[in-house]
Structure 1
Amino acid sequence: MLVALGFFALGTVIYLLDLDLVFGGDDQPTPLWARLAVLAVGCLGTLFRRALPGLGLALALGAVLLDLTRGLGIPVVMVFIDVLFVVSLDGPRRLHRALIGIVAVATLGLTLTVGVLSTDWRESLYAGLQMFSLVVVPVWWATNVRQHRESARQLARIAELDRRAAVNAERTRMARDLHDVVAGHLSAIAIQSEAVLSMPADSATVRTVLKSVRENSLRSLAEMRTMIDVLRADDPVDEPVTVRLADASRLVESARAGGLAVEFEADDVDGLPVAVDLAAYRILQEALTNALKHGADASVRVERQVRRLVLVVRNAVRTAGDGSGTGLVSMAERAHAVGGTFAAGRDGAQWVVRAELPL
Structure 2
Amino acid sequence: MHLPRLRSLPVWQQDGLIALTTWLIGFLVYAAGIHRLLAGFDHAPLWVRLLELTALCGLELLRRWVPGALLLATAVLAVDIALSPSLPVMIVFTDFLYAATLYGSRRTSRVMIGVAAASVVVVLVAVLVLAQQWRTAVLAGLGVLPFVLTPVWWAANVRQQRDIAETERANAGQLAKIAELDRRAAVAAERGRMARDLHDVIAGHLSAIAIQSEAALSLPDPKLAKTVLESVRENSVSALEEMRAMIGLLKAEGGDAETTAPARLADLSKLVESARASGLEVRVGSTVDEVPLPTAVDLTAYRIAQEALTNAVKHAPGGRVDVDVRYLDGVLAVEVRNDVHHRHAPPADGSGTGLLNMRERADAVGGTLTAGPAEGGWLVRAELPVGGTT
| TM-score (ref. length: structure 2) | 0.63
Give the letter aligned to residue 327 of structure 1.
Answer: R
Mapped partners of 1:242, 1:256: distance in 2 = 32
Q: How does 1:299-338 map to 2 (within 5 A)?
A: 317-319=335-337, 323=355, 325-332=359-366
Q: Which residue of 2 aligns with 1:40?
A: 54
Q: Which residue of 1 aligns with 2:72?
A: 59
Which stretch shows the higher mean deviation, 35-44 or 132-141? 132-141
Q: Which residue of 2 aligns with 1:101?
A: 114
Mapped partners of 1:6, 1:180: distance in 2 = 68
Report how far residue 171 of structure 1 moved: 3.1
Q: Which residue of 2 aligns with 1:209?
A: 235
Mapped partners of 1:136, 1:211: distance in 2 = 85
Q: Tell me the secondary structure at the aligned position of residue 19 of structure 1.
A: coil
Q: Which residue of 1 aligns with 2:278?
A: none
Q: Which residue of 2 aligns with 1:335?
A: none
Q: Deviations over 1:115-148 (max 9, x none)?
A: 2333422222222222222112211221122122
Q: Which residue of 2 aligns with 1:14?
A: 29
Mapped partners of 2:23, 2:298: distance in 1 = 79
Mapped partners of 1:212, 1:242: distance in 2 = 26
Query: RMSD of aligned C-alpha atoms?
Result: 4.4
From 84, 88, 91, the equivalent of 2:97 is 84
Report how far residue 356 of structure 1 moved: 3.5
Report how far residue 216 of structure 1 moved: 5.3
Q: Tell me the secondary structure at the aligned position of residue 259 of structure 1.
A: helix
Give the letter aligned to residue 120 of structure 1.
Answer: Q
Report how far residue 211 of structure 1 moved: 5.1
1:198 equivalenced with 2:212 (yes/no): yes
Q: Decide whether the 8 Å contact of 1:88 with 1:95 is kept in 2.
A: yes
Give the letter aligned to residue 10 of structure 1.
Answer: I
Mapped partners of 1:176, 1:316: distance in 2 = 25
Q: 1:93 to 1:78 in 2, by over 3 A?
A: same
From 302, 325, 333, the equivalent of 1:288 is 302
Mapped partners of 2:136, 2:289: distance in 1 = 95
Mapped partners of 1:264, 1:86: distance in 2 = 79
Q: Which residue of 2 aligns with 1:232?
A: none
Give the letter aligned to residue 52 of structure 2.
Answer: V
Mapped partners of 2:51, 2:270: distance in 1 = 96
Structure 1 unaligned regions, length at least 5 = 227-239, 268-279, 300-311, 333-341, 345-349
Q: 1:93 to 1:6 in 2, by over 3 A?
A: same
Q: Tell me the secondary structure at the aligned position of residue 136 of structure 1.
A: helix
Q: Decide whether the 8 Å contact of 1:26 with 1:70 is kept in 2.
A: no
Structure 2 unaligned regions, length at least 5 = 1-15, 218-225, 274-287, 310-322, 339-349, 370-381
Give the letter aligned to residue 169 of structure 2.
Answer: A
Work out which of the two has the higher radius of gyration on C-alpha atoms and give 1 or 2.
Answer: 2
Q: 1:61 to 1:256 in 2, by over 3 A?
A: same
Q: Deviations over 1:195-219 (max 9, x none)?
A: 2121447846545533544565687
Q: Tell me the secondary structure at the aligned position of residue 85 of structure 2.
A: coil
Mapped partners of 1:351, 1:2: distance in 2 = 77
Q: How many pairs does the alignment contain?
A: 305
Q: Which residue of 2 aligns with 1:145?
A: 158
Mapped partners of 1:83, 1:93: distance in 2 = 16
Report how far residue 43 of structure 1 moved: 0.3
Q: 1:219 to 1:57 in 2, by over 3 A?
A: farther
Give the letter aligned to residue 160 of structure 2.
Answer: Q
Q: 1:316 to 1:155 in 2, by over 3 A?
A: closer
Give the letter aligned to residue 249 of structure 1.
Answer: A
Q: 1:244 to 1:181 in 2, by over 3 A?
A: farther
Report how far residue 327 of structure 1 moved: 2.4
1:354 equivalenced with 2:386 (yes/no): yes
Mapped partners of 1:281, 1:294: distance in 2 = 20
